[in-house]
Chains A and B, each alone.
Chain A
Amino acid sequence: MVKLNKCLLMVLICVLITIPAGAAEKTMMFGSPYGITTWDPSVSYSTELTYMANIYETLIKVNPPGSKELFSYVLATGFTVSDDGKGYTFSLRKGVKFHDGTPFSAEAVKFSLERTKKMGKGAAFIWADLEKIEIIDDYTVKLILKKPVPLPRIAASAYASYIMSPSVGEKGADWFDKGNDAGTGPYTIKSYKSGESWILAKFNDYWGGWEGNHVENILVKYTKEALIQLQMLQSGEAMLVGRIPIDSYSKVKTGKNTKVVYGPSYSNYMAFFNTTRPPLNKAKVRQALAHAMPYDAIIKIGFDGLGTQARGPVPNGQFGSSEKVIQYEYNLEKARKLLAEAGFPDGGFKLTLTHAAENVQEKRFAPLIQSEFKKLGIDVEIQSIVWTSQWAKAKGNPKEAQDIFLLLWWPTYSDPYETLYSLMHNEGDKPVWNLAYYANPAYDNMIRKAYEVTGSDPDKALDLYIQAQNMIQKDVPVAWLVDTVGNWPMNKKLKGLVINPAYPNVPFFYEMTIE
């Protein structure tokens, strides 16, 4: 059977490759740096998202910033909220089939979300406040919450919210990791060679239909090397690639056959200050350092100009970001003044800064921070260490940890709570992500309150989030450096790719055509 499938597949590919001239091309190669940790949609919490979001679907989807509506409906066609904000009733789309032929229904929703929650792996934590799921009828399902948290954002999460066929039953990681899937999405996994290559092919019975010139087959060639991806793109072998060397963007942007599509991103870079020991335990010193960060130069050198200065913790465009959040500007005079007020008129202290050695951007901009701080009489020792060690060191004893920690972060789902909670709520003596070791009970309470009123009163939630962020901006446990820009280098023939920051590094192939 396996053999037969392989033969069919070869025939399919040969046919696809020799399609007659004039017919629209529907097969493309994708040189991808995004590998597979697991194909299990309940567990997936890593770079396989790039494909998962093309194979599986959620009830609803967050639209890119600037869209008219906040959400669009995918497997749901609408929802209503109870007055207390704890009951969400979703009406479901009819006529949808899973890739295994099972019809989609309320039972599948209940099965999928309960499976994910019960397994407790990956991003399952997003369902912590889900009490139970009731099937009203075949196409209506009610989700009941313990607390009135913003369920639509959770249901639209990029991770842990996918609906899968109940036929998955007790099938475990083994079944999935052979390259099987059970989604409703436009594509299904046709073949999978771990660590090398895989093929996504169109699912004929996709509910959205195949009218028009949608891309139908995606051959994924996995490679981590940016240079190889650049070569694949320039030689015309690949239609789309994920990562090219930073200094080659200008060439690709203006290439004869290549272009770069840019879009918003919710990934941001930050610098944690160790608030547990002198001199960074003084807020004034931290404020001074936030003023000494050469934001523009960091963007120019570290990101080849692609990015904007971060305002606060919540990336620009995401719910919770606002012009009302205080922003620090680069101003050495102010920094000097603040340092003097804190008792360090000529600096005169030493700081260690750690960054992940494999992060090219951090490697490029860390020395800029060093040279600016030097102007204030502060010596910075840069420690470039592999991420695993950088993080482990920071999670040990805060008193012996680094002074400044550079981090790249992105939210799991499109709500500010996770970022604000993970990065700055009090984690006591076992820090995981709060690497400033910051503790502020008033802040902790405020963000939790904001989270719980988001569903019923988003304006109030936004107001609370702004207040909480300004609390942070006065204390400055973290300096917010750069909101990044999403980008996809590709062949000029490829059209229709829209970057949606709620789903990082996901090219939605169904929306794309090849001219």
Chain B
Amino acid sequence: MTLFILKRIAGLLALLLALSVLVFFFSRAIPGDVAALYVGGNAKPEQIEQARLELGLDKPLYTQYLRYMGKLFQGDMGISLRTHRPVLKDLSEKIPMSMELVLLALVLAVLLGIPIGGIAAVWQGTWVDETIKWFSAAAVSIPIFFLALLLQLLFFNFLGWFPLQGRLDSMLEFTHPIELLTGFSFVDSLVTGNLTAFFNVAWHMVLPVAALTLGPLGFIARLTRSTLLDVMTQDYILAARASGISEGVLFFRYGLRNALSPILTVIGLSVALLMLNTFFVEMIFNWPGIGYYALMAITSLDFPAVMGIAFTIGSIYVLANTATDIVRRVVDPRIK
């Protein structure tokens, strides 16, 4: 097991290294004068040259890369050209905001997806199964940006139940500001006893989280159904049924447990899907997370920030997959 984890970590590092090369050289291949952007305003030529020296942009690209990587290992991602703050600081504030959406959506997708898939499997072939099949097919295939807009249209424009955008009512940002502890506004507002902000954040989260949840939920429900059906027709289930084990025990102890392995893989993949989708959702709901930050960084060619984002998202993705593999091994010892 230790060897397995060590191997995975080695692979992970190699992957991140490859990612860093790709992103660094691609982002620098885009036309754009980084030094001039850093100076801003109606920059004067002398100032641009000075900034070029300051930022080390006069050195050859590979030297710049090595220097960047050297600093990265010391936990320094450089200074954002746009916000002029350390990228790490920016990210440490933005990532929790996104993870809050992603994790909540993931938990919901799992907690709802598996039972829904189970129900469809139990009532296979009935109208219940048909309805769930159609629902999950729609959930998987609807583009996220369209879904997000649809939710806004329905629940803000027509029904007026939920706010259009943002994380907190503007006024509350001043009367009940959330103190920054973990960066997770849910946790921070709860820990500091700021219930007004807590409920307001929850209210603002409903639509973006719903938009994010639906896709993975459909995915997980479909997979649970088909895997369960597959497992339930295996010989050992038949044998167990023949020996008089009750259907409930049969279903939960023998069926679901054995169906879990592929479902776990899908959950790992869902993290990646959610990380990607949150970019769209954050733009549409004006959520101040990593997606919004990334868009601003890309359009202003803020390459230290772009590097930082690619690195961090890449790491989260790879880590999620590794974690899934480890959990799968625990659940199913047959996996080598």
A residues neighboring B (CB under 8 Å): 6, 10, 13-14, 17, 29, 31, 37-38, 45-46, 120-123, 125, 159, 173, 177, 191, 193-197, 199, 219, 221, 223-225, 228, 231-232, 237-238, 358, 386, 388-389, 391-393, 395-396, 409-412, 418, 422, 427, 430, 432-433
B336 at the interface (CB under 8 A from A): no
A194 lies within 8 A of B171 (CB): no
User: 14 other contacts beyond A120-B47, A391-B32, with CB at 8 A cut-off?
Assistant: A14-B175, A121-B39, A194-B85, A194-B90, A197-B173, A221-B170, A221-B173, A228-B164, A228-B286, A389-B30, A395-B33, A412-B41, A432-B48, A433-B42
CB-contact partner of A159 in B31, B41, B45, under 8 A? B41
Q: Which residues of A contact B45 (CB under 8 A)?
A: 427, 430, 432
Measured CB to CB, the closest approach of chain A to B160, in angstroms, equals 12
CB-contact partner of B177 in A193, A391, A418, A433, under 8 A? A193
Which of chain B's residues 67-82 have a Cβ closer than 8 Å to chain A? Answer: 82
Q: Which residues of B contact A228 (CB under 8 A)?
A: 164-166, 286
Q: How far is the CA of A29 from the CA of B82 in the complex (A)?
A: 25
Q: Contact flags (1/0) for B256-296 with A, using CB distance below 8 Å?
A: 00000000000000000000000000000010100000001
B41 lies within 8 A of A46 (CB): yes
Q: Which residues of B contact A17 (CB under 8 A)?
A: 171, 175
Q: Which residues of B contact A159 (CB under 8 A)?
A: 41
A177 lies within 8 A of B299 (CB): no
A393 lies within 8 A of B42 (CB): no
Measured CB to CB, the closest approach of chain B to A231, in angstroms, equals 7
Q: How far is the CA of A120 from the CA of B33 in the complex (A)?
A: 20
A392 lies within 8 A of B31 (CB): yes
Q: Which residues of A contact B37 (CB under 8 A)?
A: 388
Residue from A232, A388, A412, A427 with most neighbouring chain B CB atoms (10 Å): A388
Nearest to A419 among chain B residues (CB) is B42
B47 lies within 8 A of A121 (CB): yes
Q: Determine the main DSSP class of B at the interface with A.
A: loop
Measured CB to CB, the closest approach of chain A to B215, in angstroms, equals 25
Q: Are A418 and B42 CB-contacts (below 8 A) given A177-B85, A221-B173, A225-B286?
A: yes
Q: Are A29 and B170 CB-contacts (below 8 A) given A6-B179, A13-B175, A422-B42?
A: yes
Measured CB to CB, the closest approach of chain B to A127, in angstroms, equals 12
The 8 A-B residue pairs with the shortest CB-CB distance in the complex, in nearest-first order:
A45-B41, A388-B32, A392-B31, A388-B301, A221-B170, A392-B32, A219-B174, A389-B31
Chain A to chain B contacts (Cβ below 8 Å), 10 pairs: A10-B177, A45-B41, A173-B84, A193-B173, A194-B90, A221-B173, A388-B32, A392-B32, A409-B42, A432-B44
Q: How far is the CA of A45 from the CA of B47 in the complex (A)?
A: 12
Q: How far is the CA of A65 from the CA of B30 in the complex (A)?
A: 43
Nearest to B178 among chain A residues (CB) is A193
Q: Are A412 and B42 CB-contacts (below 8 A) given A13-B175, A197-B174?
A: yes
Which of chain B's residues 34-74 have a Cβ closer than 8 Å to chain A? Answer: 36-37, 39-48, 50
A231 lies within 8 A of B164 (CB): yes
Q: How far is the CA of A146 from the CA of B258 in the complex (A)?
A: 85
Q: How far is the CA of A221 from the CA of B174 in the complex (A)?
A: 9
Q: Which residues of B contact A433 (CB under 8 A)?
A: 42
B300 at the interface (CB under 8 A from A): yes
Measured CB to CB, the closest approach of chain A to B9, in angstroms, equals 34
B124 at the interface (CB under 8 A from A): no
Measured CB to CB, the closest approach of chain A to B91, in angstroms, equals 12
CB-contact partner of A10 in B31, B32, B39, B175, under 8 A? B175
B83 at the interface (CB under 8 A from A): yes
A391 lies within 8 A of B175 (CB): no
Q: Which residues of A contact B50 (CB under 8 A)?
A: 120
Q: Which residues of A contact B84 (CB under 8 A)?
A: 37-38, 173, 177
B174 lies within 8 A of A388 (CB): no
Q: Are A232 and B177 CB-contacts (below 8 A) given A46-B40, A388-B300, A432-B48?
A: no
Q: Are A196 and B173 CB-contacts (below 8 A) given A6-B179, A45-B41, A412-B42?
A: yes
A238 lies within 8 A of B170 (CB): yes
Nearest to A199 among chain B residues (CB) is B174
Q: Which residues of B contact A31 (CB under 8 A)?
A: 170
B165 lies within 8 A of A386 (CB): no
Q: Which residues of B contact A6 (CB under 8 A)?
A: 177, 179
A29 lies within 8 A of B299 (CB): no
Q: Which residues of A contact B171 (CB under 8 A)?
A: 17, 29, 219, 237
Q: How far is the CA of A454 from the CA of B39 in the complex (A)?
A: 29
Q: Are A196 and B33 CB-contacts (below 8 A) given A38-B84, A45-B40, A432-B43?
A: no
Q: How far is the CA of A199 from the CA of B40 in the complex (A)?
A: 25
Q: Are A194 and B83 CB-contacts (below 8 A) given A125-B44, A412-B41?
A: yes
Measured CB to CB, the closest approach of chain A to B309, in angstroms, equals 15
Q: Which residues of B contact A173 (CB under 8 A)?
A: 84
Residue from B30, B41, B166, B296 with most neighbouring chain A CB atoms (10 Å): B41
Q: Which residues of B contact A177 (CB under 8 A)?
A: 84-85
Q: How far is the CA of A194 from the CA of B36 in the complex (A)?
A: 23
B299 lies within 8 A of A358 (CB): yes
A195 lies within 8 A of B40 (CB): no
Q: How far is the CA of A228 from the CA of B163 in the complex (A)?
A: 12
Measured CB to CB, the closest approach of chain B to A196, in angstroms, equals 6
Q: How far is the CA of A37 from the CA of B286 in the complex (A)?
A: 20
Q: Which residues of B contact A231 (CB under 8 A)?
A: 164
Q: Which residues of A contact B33 (CB under 8 A)?
A: 388, 391-392, 395
Q: Which residues of A contact B296 (CB under 8 A)?
A: 224
Q: How far is the CA of A29 from the CA of B33 in the complex (A)?
A: 36
Q: How far is the CA of A484 from the CA of B166 in the complex (A)?
A: 31
Measured CB to CB, the closest approach of chain B to A387, in angstroms, equals 8
A195 lies within 8 A of B31 (CB): no
B41 lies within 8 A of A123 (CB): yes
A237 lies within 8 A of B170 (CB): yes
Q: Which residues of A contact B83 (CB under 8 A)?
A: 37, 194-195
Measured CB to CB, the closest approach of chain B to A229, in angstroms, equals 11
Q: How far is the CA of A411 from the CA of B31 in the complex (A)?
A: 26
Q: Which residues of B contact A409 (CB under 8 A)?
A: 42
Q: How far is the CA of A122 from the CA of B166 in the complex (A)?
A: 33
A232 lies within 8 A of B175 (CB): no
Nearest to B175 among chain A residues (CB) is A13
Q: How far is the CA of A396 from the CA of B44 in the complex (A)?
A: 16
Residue from B37, B173, B299 with most neighbouring chain A CB atoms (10 Å): B173
Measured CB to CB, the closest approach of chain A to B31, in angstroms, equals 4
Q: How far is the CA of A507 from the CA of B102 in the complex (A)?
A: 39
